[in-house]
Structure formats: structure tokens, C-alpha cells
Amino acid sequence: MSGSSSVAAMNKVVQQLRLEAGLNRVKVSQAAADLKQFCLQKAQHDPLLTGVSSSTNPFRPQKVCSFL
């Protein structure tokens, strides 16, 4: 019956909301500080960020070798 199925559907919505309400959250200042920390720590090892030279990046054009 349409009545009981909307109750069942509503029940699911409430269950889901209860689950989400119970989550442990962190302050944005803390979360943002951690994101920033991660970026800065890994910066050296990020080739697209640091711009890797031709000799180490397989996609950048190599200088042509020629036999003299």
C-alpha cells in the first residue's frame, strides 16, 4: 500500500540522517591545516608542481644526440 511504503521510505531517510548526525566532526581550521600540511610535505615529490627537467620527464622533449 502506498501509505506503508512512504512510511518505510521515510524511515530509511531518518535512519540515514541519524547516522550522519552521529558523525565525529573536526573543525575546518584543523582539517584545513592538515590539508595544507600534506601539500607542503609532498610538494618536492610532485613533478607537475616542481616542473621536472627534460632528462627525467619521459614526456618532455629530449635534446637530440648526434654522432660527430
Partner 1 sequence: MATDGLHENETLASLKSEAESLKGKLEEERAKLHDVELHQVAERVEALGQFVMKTRRTLKGHGNKVLCMDWCKDKRRIVSSSQDGKVIVWDSFTTNKEHAVTMPCTWVMACAYAPSGCAIACGGLDNKCSVYPLTFDKNENMAAKKKSVAMHTNYLSACSFTNSDMQILTASGDGTCALWDVESGQLLQSFHGHGADVLCLDLAPSETGNTFVSGGCDKKAMVWDMRSGQCVQAFETHESDINSVRYYPSGDAFASGSDDATCRLYDLRADREVAIYSKESIIFGASSVDFSLSGRLLFAGYNDYTINVWDVLKGSRVSILFGHENRVSTLRVSPDGTAFCSGSWDHTLRVWA
Q: Which residues bind partner 1 (CB under 8 A)?
A: 3-4, 6-7, 10-11, 13-14, 16-21, 23, 25-36, 38-43, 45-49, 51-52, 57-61
Q: How far is the CB of 54 from partner 1 (least distance, A)?
A: 10
Closer to partner 1 by Cβ: residue 59 or 67: 59
CA distance 27 to 33: 10
**Nearest-5° Cα angle at 33, 51 to 21:** 125
> In the 8-state DSSP scheme, what is residue 60?
S
Q: Which residue has the cell 632528462?
A: 55
Q: How far is the CB of 68 from partner 1 (least distance, A)?
A: 27
